[in-house]
Amino acid sequence: MTKANKFFLNGQEYATEQKISLLELLAYFNYNSALLVLEYNNFICNKKEWTKIFITNNDKIEIVTIVGGG
Look at 1 and 56; give whichever has higher pLDDT.
56
**DSSP letter assigned to residue 21:** B
First to last CA, the chain: 53
Q: What distance in Å separates the CA atoms of residue 62 and residue 70, rounded to the nearest whole number?
A: 26
pTM of the complete model: 0.86
d(CA 47, CA 70): 27
Model confidence pLDDT, tens digit, residues 35-67: 899 999 999 999 999 999 999 999 999 999 877
In this prediction, residue 38 carries a pLDDT of 95
CA 38 vs CA 1, 3, 57: distances in Å: 31, 26, 18
Domains of the chain, each with CATH number or no CATH: 5-65 (3.10.20.30)
Mean pLDDT (the chain) is 92
